[in-house]
Amino acid sequence: MKIALVDSGIGLLAAAAAVRRLRPDADLVLSCDPAGMPWGPRTAQDVSDRALRCALDAAERGPDALIVACNTASVHALDAVRAALEPALPVVGTVPAVKPAAAGGGAIAIWATPATTGSAYQRALIADHGGAAQVTEVPCPGLADAVQAGDEAAVDSAVRAAAALTPTGVRAVVLGCTHYELVDDRIAAAVPGAELFGSADAVAAQALRRITAAGRPVPPGGGGLEVLLDGVAAELPAVAAGYRQGAALTVTPATA
């Protein structure tokens, strides 16, 4: 089994690690766009073009499913990627976990990039899935960039700023950017008592379901890892090893 993941940078590590937990034998292809990151400030068409290019690069490696492991790309590029690759290759997008977070009602917060916060897309998610929950949208300027750079001081500063905008006593925090899941421990410490809701586990499970539903024979993999940076085979960026999700990908099933 081989699963490909697409993102501008290391935000895809959370979903990749979730796949590895569920299927240690799965071969992974990580296709990133370091020349174009971050995608958030770019136009919708530019994001779509770049994400599609990453997806096509990954598709050449023969995966059994492809995950668009980025909220921004899922908004702007998912339709284009699916049009290019499905039905031959199942494509799974990433959606902030508003629905499960809001299911318990009460006060919740959505931490997201400034470009996503207040967007029509996020407001639609809240309207469709927020239910009776009291939802606060919290912009997190600089947090994704700090995570991407592995800048711990900048991460802590951005987390503190976002926590200051988060109402005291919120029951849950939705991590509306895949990069944020890499520092979920720091976010949890900054918002004590709140349950964190990321997307990685659900996305990984959905990819595996799509593979099963396709009904095609899928041989087991060997737990391998292939990295594509701007379409070129490369090593996993050194910054990835600083996060537990990235470190987990470098451990082979035989030694796990």
Positions marked catalytic: 70, 177
* CB 108 within 8 Å of CB 101: yes
Neighbours of 48 (CB within 10 A): 20
Q: Rounded CA gap, 171 and 177, in Å?
A: 19
- Cis before residue 87, ω within 30 degrees of 0? yes
**Measured between alpha carbons, how far is residue 104 from residues 17, 175, 194 in Å?**
27, 17, 12
Helix axes 13-22, 200-214, angle to 10 degrees: 60
